[in-house]
Amino acid sequence: MDPLGAPSQFVDVQTLASWDEPAGSGDGDVVDSRLEDDSFSNQQWSFPSPFPHREDINRKIVLFKGDIALLNCTAVVNTTNETLTDKNPVSDSIHRHAGPELGEELLKMKGCRTGEAKMTEGFNLAARHIIHTVGPKYKAKYRTAAESSLYSCYRSVMQIAKEQAMASVGFCVVSTAKRGYPLQDATHIALRTVRRFLETHGESIEMVVFAVTAAEEAVYRKLMPLYYPRSEAEEQASLPLIPADIGNSEGEPVVPERQIRIAEKPGTLEEDSDEDSLDSDLGLVGTHAFARMEGDVDKQRRLILQGQMSEAALQKQHQRNYNRWLGRARAEDLSDIAALKALYQTGVDMCGRTVMVVVGRNIPVTLIDMEKALLYFIHVMDHITVKEYVIVYFHTLTAEHNHLDSDFLKKLYDVVDAKFKRNLKAFYFVHPTFRSKVSTWFFTTFSVSGMKDKVHHLESLQHLFTCIQPEQIDIPPFVLEYDARVNGPYHTSHSLGL
C-alpha cells in the first residue's frame, strides 16, 4: 500500500487515452505514411474491409506503454507456463506487487494447460483479479498448432471477462521470449481476436488495455490500424496490409481438417454440356474453373491496344489491372483455399531470403475454383515479393488431379506485378518426375521469359538442405517419409555447404 498522502504508483485506466483518436496524430506508423502517398490516396477500393472503422470499439481500446501490474482495472493478464511458475518480466512484476499470497494461491491450483486461462484474486494489486494464461512454445513446423493455442489464450481471457461481467481487462503480450513466438505474428492474433470478440460478445466490456514495453509498442502501433482503423481513410489505407489469413468469424485460425470442403462429390467434375458448348464458341480452353477467365475484358483490351500503346502506357495499364486483382483478393473470402495449406511462408535460406513453400499434393486442381486460387496467391505473396524471396515446390506424390494447367501458370505469370518476377531468385522443384522436368522445360522455354535459369530440380531433401537449413523450412510429414524411403534418412551431422 502507498504511504498516506503519497501519490499512488498505480495507473487508473480511466485516465488513459483510448484508441479512437483520429489517425494522423504523428504516431509515424506504416498506415499513416500510406495516407500521405498521393498515388495511394487516389486509389479507392470498391469493397468493404473485414475490419471496418468502428468508433464504439475504438473507444474501448487503449495502448499503454508501462507495467501491467500497475493498472487499476478489473483484471490483468499474467503470461506464465503450465505449472504457473514461469519467471519472466511480466510475471515477476505481477508477483512482486501482488505479494506472497499470490504464489501460495497458485501452489494450490493444479497448473494450467497451454491455451487455457485461470483466475485468481489480485491480492495487493490495484486490479481485482489476475487471469493467468499459458502461451504456446513456437516451432515453425508446428505453426498451425501454435496459432490455435495463442488464439485460445486471448479468447479464453475474454470469455472469463464476459462471464464475470468485468468492466476492464489489461492484456500483456501473451508470449515470452523464451517461448519463441514471433512478436509480429503474435500481435496479429491478439488484435484480431480481441476485435472479433468485442464485435459479437463485448457489450459488457468497457475497456481493453494492451500493456506493452517500448519494443512491443512499435509493433502494436504499426498493426493496430489494420484491426482498429481510426477513420475511413485509415481503413482504406490499411486494407492492402491485412494478412491473407484472418481466421474465421471469431478470429480463430483456420484448421484444414475442420474447414476443408471443396465439392459435394469429390473426384468428379460437374457436367454442363450447354455451358461447355458456349465456352468452346468463345474460344476458351481447359475444363477447370479458371479457364473461364481466359476471355476476360482486360486481356481482350490488352490484345487490341498492345500495338498502339507505348511501353510505359502498357506498364501503367498492367499495374492498374494488377491492383484490381489485388483489391479483389483483399475482399473475397479465401478461407477454403487457405485451409488447403498449399502455400505458406517458412524461414529464410542461407542468403537470408524469405522462403515460400508450395505443396503440390495439397492442390486439388479439378475440385477447387482456380480463380480463387490465383487471388489467394496474390494476397499472400504481395507483401512477400517486395524483397528477394525463393519458392520451394514439393512435387512429392502428386497425382494427375494435382497438376497445374500451363494456361493457369501462364495467366498467373502475366497477371502478377513485376516485383514477383524481379525478386524471385530461385524456384526449387523438389522430387520432380521425368514428365514434370520435360513440362517445366517447355513452359520456361516457350511460355515465359526469365524463369528458366531460376528453376532448380532437386532429387532429394539432402540437395535442398544445401540451400536452406532444415530448421528454416516447414516440410510436410509425407514429404519427409517419402524422401527417407527413396533416398535414405537424412543425417543432420552432414555438412550443409553450398
Q: What is the pLDDT of residue 494?
A: 40
Cα dihedral 80, 86, 91, 97 in deg (nearest 10): 130
Q: What is the pLDDT of residue 310?
A: 67
Buried residues in 310-333 as b, exposed as e (16+ CB within 10 A): eeeeeeebbeebbeebbbbbbbee
Cell of 217: 509498442
Higher-pLDDT residue of 419, 38: 419
Q: What is the pLDDT of residue 262?
A: 44
Residues contacting 239, CB < 8 A, separation 6+ = 45, 49, 330
CA 442 to each of CA 406, 410, 431, 432: distance values in angstroms, whole numbers, following the listed order? 10, 12, 18, 15
Q: What is the pLDDT of residue 47?
A: 62
Instruction: Provide, rounded to the nearest whole percent, the portion of the chain with pLDDT above 70.
Output: 80
Q: What is the pLDDT of residue 442?
A: 83
Q: What is the mean pLDDT of the chain?
A: 83
Q: How confident is the model at residue 308 (pLDDT cuts 50, 70, 90)?
A: low
C-alpha span between 290 and 407 (Å, rounded): 9
Q: Other CB atoms closer than 10 Å to residue 350's CB: what's the count?
A: 14
Higher-pLDDT residue of 338, 27: 338
Give me the phi and psi of 355, to 5 degrees please.
-110, 125
C-alpha span between 332 and 339 (Å, rounded): 15
C-alpha span between 219 and 335 (Å, rounded): 26
Q: Other CB atoms closer than 10 Å to residue 2's CB: what's the count?
A: 9
> 211-225, 285-299, 417-431: which has the minimum mean pLDDT?
285-299
Question: pLDDT tens digits, residue range 90-128?
Answer: 999 999 999 999 999 999 998 999 999 999 999 999 999
Nearest by Cα to 33 from 245, 228, 244, 221: 221
Mean pLDDT of 287-293: 42
Q: Let me know: does 83 contact 107? Beta carbons within 8 Å.
A: no
Nearest by Cα to 381 from 339, 415, 430: 415
DSSP 3-state percent helix, strand, coil across the chain (nearest 5): 50, 15, 40
> 191-200, 298-307, 350-359: which has the minimum mean pLDDT?
298-307
Q: How confident is the model at residue 190 (pLDDT cuts 50, 70, 90)?
A: very high
> 79-83, 169-173, 266-270: which has the minimum mean pLDDT?
266-270
Domains of the chain, earliest start first? 11-253 (3.40.220.10), 257-487 (3.40.525.10)
Residues contacting 325, CB < 8 A, separation 6+ = 374, 375, 378, 415
Residue 328: pLDDT above 70? yes
Q: Let me know: does 176 contact 216? Beta carbons within 8 Å.
A: no
Cell of 85: 511458475
Nearest by Cα to 192 from 223, 220, 227, 164: 227
Q: How confident is the model at residue 375 (pLDDT cuts 50, 70, 90)?
A: very high
What is the three-class DSSP state of 318? helix
Question: pLDDT tens digits, residue range 259-286?
Answer: 444 444 444 433 343 433 333 333 333 4
C-alpha span between 261 and 455 (Å, rounded): 33
Question: pLDDT tens digits, residue range 456-496?
Answer: 999 999 999 999 999 999 999 999 999 999 998 764 434 33
Pairing label, strands 75-80, 168-171: parallel
Q: What is the pLDDT of residue 110?
A: 87
HEC-encoded secondary structure of 197-259: HHHHHCCCCCEEEEEECHHHHHHHHHHHHHHCCCCHHHHHHHHHHCCCCCCCCCCCCCCHHHH
